[in-house]
Amino acid sequence: MTETETLSRTERRKLRTRQALVTAAQQLLAEERTAVSVLEITTLADVGNGSFYNHFATKEELFDAAVLAVIDEHGAAMDRLTEGITDPAEAFTQSFRMTGRLHRRMPSMSRIVVNSGPKLLASNTGLLPRARRDITAAIAAGRFRASDPELALTIASGAALSLAVLLLEAPERDDAAATDAVTAQLLRGFGLTESETTSLIELPLPEPIL
């Protein structure tokens, strides 16, 4: 029996209301329309105005929850897609390549990431801790020859955010080619040889991402 099935009708209704508010906030974030009233948010979510404060104390709290939901969902998806990969350098490479390709496939998510960029770079959730895990493991295994994991993470996260901006602002650009080029530059910067870099970049991606 799932957790949802064990919840009471009232609890399920509360969850649906909260999710509707979060979804509305994600739409507003993607559209850069955060200077809205609570009434506008609840109208977009199609829930009662008074129900807002049953879940969130402020608009800022709601928008934070909306961003967190996006990055947590994406991070969990990357974990599922890289499950079983034992080489941390490969896990990092595949996650970066898949994330870059998702900007065109999930533009709303991409815009939330871009519009919330500085906040995400300081987050302890989503992709950042997962990238830190893979980079640290790759250095420990001798796959990445970088001396400072946090500096390597800073370079990678900055490249990921800049790539997202580029792909949103230049729709004519080939997202797969651009993503793989950036990934290759990162791998070279982390000390991989040209042959090692090429081997990782040429690995097939899961079919849902292709």
Domain boundaries, the chain: 9-57, 60-202
Note the pLDDT of residue 1. 46
Does the pTM of the predicted model rise above 0.75?
yes
CATH 1.10.10 for the 9-57 domain, yes or no: yes
User: In tens digits, what is the pLDDT along the chain, a chain of 210 residues?
Assistant: 455 556 788 888 899 999 999 999 989 988 888 899 999 999 999 999 889 999 999 998 998 888 888 888 878 888 888 888 999 999 999 999 999 998 888 887 788 878 777 777 666 767 788 899 999 999 999 999 999 999 999 999 999 999 999 999 999 999 999 999 999 999 999 999 999 999 999 999 987 654
Half-sphere exposure of 73 (CA within 13 A, CB side): 14
User: Could you give the CA distance from residue 169 to residue 73 in angstroms, rounded to a whole number?
Assistant: 24
Q: CB under 8 Å to 165, separation ≥6 — which residues?
A: 114
**Angle, CA of 183, 102 and 145, to the nearest 5°:** 20
User: Could you give the CA distance from residue 122 to residue 125 in angstroms, rounded to a whole number?
Assistant: 9
User: Could you give the CA distance from residue 82 to residue 60 in angstroms, rounded to a whole number?
Assistant: 33
**What is the CATH number that goes with domain 60-202?**
1.10.357.10
